Structure 1
Amino acid sequence: MAITPHLSPKPRVLVVGGGYAGYNVAKRLQKKIRDRGGIVTVVEPNSYLTYQPFLPEVVGGSIEPRHAVVDLRSHLRQSEIVQGKIVEIKHAEKVAVVEGPAGMTFDLPYQDVIVTAGADSRTFPIDGLGEAAIGLKRIEEAVSIRNQILERIESAALMTDAEQRRKALTFVVVGGGFAGAELIGEIEDLVRTAISKNPRLAQSDARIVLIEAMGRIMPEVSEEQAVSVVEEFRSRGIEVLLNTSLSSAVDNHLKLVNMTDQSDAGSFDADTLVWTAGVAANKLARSTDFPVEQRGRIEVTPTLQVSDGEGGVLEGAWAAGDVAAVPDLTGDGPGGFCVPNAQHAGRQADRLAANLMAVRFGEGAVEEYYHKSLGAVAGMGVGKGIGNPLGIELSGVAAWLAHRAYHNYALPTWERSSRVLGGWINELIWGKDTTQLKELETPHNAFREAAGLEKLPNRLDQKAQAAAQA
C-alpha cells in the first residue's frame, strides 16, 4: 500500500530526473510557476546533478569529484526536491509512482510532467561483463575507477608473480566515442604520472588498451582528425584496437574477436575494464503510457511535447534530453534525431520551458526546437585534445583549452565553475595529484580490526578469492 509523504498540495509541474536537462528546465520554470500558484517538483535518485563531460577529468584527478556535481537543493531553492526514483508514470491519471530512499512508494499527482530521465550505459550480452566491468555515467563510477587504477599500481609494485603483475597493470576501455577517447587519454596521463613516482615500476610495465568495434573512433570529428587521434594515442603507448570487439570477460580474462571476419583477435587478463560503448535511454521510458520508439526513447514532436502516436500530442506531457527521441530539424542528426549530448539537452530545456509557459499560460508562442550543432571538443589529458568548434578543426593545446573553456562555461552555476577553474590552476602549479583514497568500499574495516573482527573483503579481494578457488 502506497503512502503519501508531506509534499506541496499546489498544482505541480513534475520534472523527472535532475540531470542536465532536468536541472535547466527546473531552473527556468521554478519562479514562473511559483508566481502563478504552482510548484516545480524535481524527482531525482541523487540529490545532485552530475556533469558527465567532466567525469574523465575526475578519473584523471584534474577535477575534484564534488566539483563535477551540482547540489539541487542549493541551486533550485524555489523547487520542491524529492530524492527518489520514478518507477511508473500513469499519465492517463496524471500520477507518477515514486520509490523513496528507504524503498517506500507513493503516488505523486501532477498537472504537467517533464521527463528528463537521461540515459543508462548500453551493454551487450557478453559473458562476465557485468561482473568485470564498470561504466562511466556517474560520479561514483569515476571515483571508483581512479582509486582502483592507483590501488592496482601500488599493489603491482609489490607483486612477485609476473602474471598477476601484468594483469594489475593492464587498463582497458571499451568504446571509442568521445567518452572512451577522453577517458583513455586521462587514464594514460594518470598511470604514467603515478608510475613515475614509484621506483619499483617502469613505464613499460603498464599496458593501456582502447577497444573499438568500428573501423574508426570518435564519429563526431572528421576522419582525418580521428586518424590523428589514433596516431597520437599510439605515440603515447596506448594500444588502439579497431574493428575489434569484446566477446567474453569471465574472471577478467578478456577475449577479443575481429569484427571484419569474426576471427579470434587474442585474449589477455586485465583487472581494470571500463565500458563506454554507447548509451541507452533510461528504462523508465518503458514504464510509462507514452509511445516509445524502437530504441526505447519517448516519442516527442519538435515542440518537445510527447506524441500521442496519432499525429497529435498528449496534453501536459513533455520530454527532452537523452530519454527523448527529439527530431533534429537541421537534418544532421543520425536517423533524423538529435544526438544525446549536453549541448542539445541544455538548449532543449530552454525551449521546453518556454513552450510549457506558452501552452499552460498563453505566454509567448510555441516554437519547434532547432539547433545547429556548434561542433565538439574533447580533452584527452593535460594539454591534449581534438575538436571542431564552429567548424574549425583544432588539436593539441588549442583543442584542450577550447574543451575546458566550453565545458566550464556550460557547467551549471558560477560557483561550481569557479571551483573547477581553481582546481585546474592548482594542477598547473603543483602537478597532477595521484593520492589514492583507500577502502572506500569497506570504510568500516579499520574499526572492525580495532574491535578484533575480521575485515570485510572489497570487490578486488572477492575476485581474487574466487579466482583462487577456481
Structure 2
Amino acid sequence: MRRILVIGGGYAGFYTAWKLERWLKPGEAEVTIVDPRPYMTYQPFLPEVAAGSVEARHASISLRSHLRRTRILAGWVTEIRHAEKRVTVRPLAGEEFDLGYDIVVVTAGAVTRTFPIPGIADQAIGMKHVEEAVAIRDRLLTAFDRASVLPPGPERRRLLTVTFVGGGFSGVEGFGELLSLATSLLRSYPELTFADLSFHLVEALGRILPEVTDEPGRWVVRSLEERGARVHLDTQLVSAVDGHVVLSNGEEFDSELIVWTAGNGANPVVSRHSDLPIDARGLLMVRADLRVGTEEEPVADAWGAGDDAAVPDLASPIPGARTVPNAQHAVRQGKRLAANLVATLHGEEPKPYVHSSLGVVATLGLGRGIFQYKGIVIRGFPAWVMHRGYHVLAIPTWERKIRVLAVWATAVLTGRDIVSLASVQRPRHEFVTGGAPDAR
C-alpha cells in the first residue's frame, strides 16, 4: 500500500484525510495524520465560544471519531526531509522518531504572528485555538466577579478594561462578541455600570476588516463606537508590561485582558525545517493543482494546501494572486487535494483548484453582523442571521450541526450561560488548600 502522510489536522488536513477515506479503495493506501491536538478546531466559531454562544467542544471536531480508517499520531512534525521521504515526529509522550512515507500532504497551517513588544509574551492571549477562546471568556467573567466587590476606582476600571490588538476578521469578531457579552452581563451585576466598561480595539492600519471595502469597514467602526468601544486606527501597541497598555498615539491605560489577533505567520516546520520549496514569506510553493512546486517544476509526491501554502487564486483577476488564508478556501482546497491525489493514483490528471469567493460575513455580537458579496452589503440583524446560517451549514458533520443549533435554540429561552470555569486551570487548588481563601 502507498503510505500517505498528512501533516496537520486543521481544515485542509482534516478534509483531505476525510475525503481520502471515502474515495480510496480498501487496501489502496494507508493514511496517517500527525497533529498535537486530537481535534480540528472550527475557528469561525471561536468568537462565539469566547462569548458563550457556542460550547467549546461543539467547535471542535474529533479526529478519531470521524477518521475511522486513518492512523492518528498525537505529536508534531519537526522536520520534513522530502529527499529521503521521511519526517521527524515529536510525540506528546516519548522520544522523537523518524517516520517514512510515499506521499506527503503538508497542511500544517499558520501560527500566530507576534512581535517583540514588551509584556506581550507574558500578558496577551491569542485566539486561534478553542482553549484560548475559553480562557478569554473565563477571564472576563472572573473579572466581573472581582470588580463587583470593589468600589469605583482604578482597580475596578482595570478589571473591566479589554484590549484587542488586530483589526482583521478574528479580532473584530472576537471584540464585537466580547463587547456584547460584557454589556449583557451588566444585568446580572447591579453593582457595575456601563461606564465601568472600557473596550479598546487597536489596529496599525488606517482601517479594519481588509476583506471588505472601505464604506462597510467604516460602518463597522461607527457601530462599535456607538456601543461604547474605542477603535484606535493607525495605532500600534508599544508596551503591555504588567497589563499597562501603551499606544503609539500616546494613550496609556491598565487592561486586565489583552487579546492578540494581529495576523498569521509562516509555520516554522515549513519555513525553516523542510527541504520543500518556499516563497519569500516562508509559505509552501504550490501549483494550481495543489502539487508542491512551480508550473515548470513540480515536486513529485508532495502536496500542500491551507494557510501554510501559497495557492494560486485562479478566480482572481489579479495576475499572480494567491488565495487568502481563510476557512472558505482551506476546506475546499482539502477536498480538491484529496480528489487530485486519488486521481493521480488512478493514472488520471489532477484538476486545478478554482473557487470564487462566496462573500465575507462577520458577527459583531449578538444580533449584529456585516455581509458583503461584491457590491452587495447587508448590515445588522439580517447579516448576523446569515453568519449563523452559513457557519452551521459549513461546520463538518451533522452531529456538530445539531449540537450547535441546540445550544442556540436553548439560549433564545434561557440566555447565555455566564458561569466561569477559570478554576479548571488550577484543578488541585481546593484539594491542596482545603478550601482556604487565596492569599492577597
Deviation at 1:330, TM superposition (A): 2.3
Conserved 8 A contact 2:135-2:422: no
Q: In structure 2, give the amino acid aligned to 1:287.
A: H
Aligned residue for 1:388?
372
CA distance in 2 between counterparts of 1:282 and 1:171 reads: 29
Q: In structure 1, give the amino acid aligned to 2:429.
A: N
Cα gap change, 1:109/1:391 in structure 2, threshold over 3 Å: closer, same or farther? farther
Aligned residue for 1:42?
33
Deviation at 1:81, TM superposition (A): 1.0
Aligned residue for 2:286?
300
Conserved 8 A contact 1:385-1:400: yes
The structure with higher relative contact order (CA 8 Å, sep 6+) is: 2
CA distance in 2 between counterparts of 1:334 and 1:271 reads: 45
Pairing 1:368–2:352 present: yes
SS across alignment from 1:284 = helix
Conserved 8 A contact 1:52-1:138: yes
- Choose from 56, 63, 66 the match for 1:72: 63
TM-score normalised to structure 1 length: 0.90
Q: In structure 2, give the amino acid aligned to 1:306.
A: V
Pairing 1:145–2:130 present: no
TM-score normalised to structure 2 length: 0.96
Cα gap change, 1:348/1:70 in structure 2, threshold over 3 Å: closer, same or farther? same
Aligned residue for 2:231?
240
1:178-197 per-residue CA deviation (whole Å, 9 max, x = no partner) reads 11111111111111122221
SS across alignment from 2:424 = coil
Aligned residue for 2:275?
289
Conserved 8 A contact 2:287-2:295: no
Cα gap change, 1:171/1:334 in structure 2, threshold over 3 Å: closer, same or farther? farther
Q: How does 1:57-456 map to 2 (within 5 A)?
A: 57-160=48-151, 162-258=153-249, 265-285=250-270, 286-307=272-293, 311-331=296-316, 336-363=321-348, 365-389=349-373, 391-450=375-434
Structure 1 vs Structure 2 CA RMSD = 1.9
Of all paired residues, the percent bearing the same amino acid is 46
Structure 1, 31-40 or 148-157: larger mean CA deviation: 31-40
SS across alignment from 1:423 = helix
1:353-389 per-residue CA deviation (whole Å, 9 max, x = no partner) reads 12112222214x3111111111110011111000114
1:263-288 per-residue CA deviation (whole Å, 9 max, x = no partner) reads xx211110100011111122110211
Deviation at 1:333, TM superposition (A): 7.1
Conserved 8 A contact 2:168-2:209: yes
CA distance in 1 between counterparts of 2:273 and 2:411 reads: 45
Cα gap change, 1:16/1:266 in structure 2, threshold over 3 Å: closer, same or farther? same
SS across alignment from 2:339 = helix
Deviation at 1:36, TM superposition (A): 4.2
Q: In structure 2, give the amino acid aligned to 1:18.
A: G
CA distance in 1 between counterparts of 2:295 and 2:351 reads: 20
Deviation at 1:87, TM superposition (A): 0.7
Deviation at 1:32, TM superposition (A): 3.5
CA distance in 1 between counterparts of 2:129 and 2:318 reads: 26
Deviation at 1:17, TM superposition (A): 0.6
SS across alignment from 2:125 = coil
Conserved 8 A contact 1:190-1:434: no
CA distance in 1 between counterparts of 2:209 and 2:340 reads: 34
Deviation at 1:11, TM superposition (A): 2.8
Conserved 8 A contact 1:281-1:296: yes
Cα gap change, 1:376/1:91 in structure 2, threshold over 3 Å: closer, same or farther? same
1:141-162 per-residue CA deviation (whole Å, 9 max, x = no partner) reads 0000000000011101112472
Deviation at 1:315, TM superposition (A): 0.7
1:245-272 per-residue CA deviation (whole Å, 9 max, x = no partner) reads 10111111111014xxxxxx21111010
Q: In structure 2, give the amino acid aligned to 1:339.
A: V
Q: In structure 2, give the amino acid aligned to 1:182.
A: E
Q: In structure 1, give the amino acid aligned to 2:82.
A: H
Q: In structure 2, give the amino acid aligned to 1:342.
A: A
Structure 1, 143-152 or 370-379: larger mean CA deviation: 370-379
1:210-238 per-residue CA deviation (whole Å, 9 max, x = no partner) reads 11111111111121111111111111111
SS across alignment from 2:5 = strand
Count of paired positions: 439
Conserved 8 A contact 2:157-2:197: yes
Cα gap change, 1:331/1:438 in structure 2, threshold over 3 Å: closer, same or farther? closer
Conserved 8 A contact 1:33-1:40: no
Cα gap change, 1:12/1:390 in structure 2, threshold over 3 Å: closer, same or farther? farther
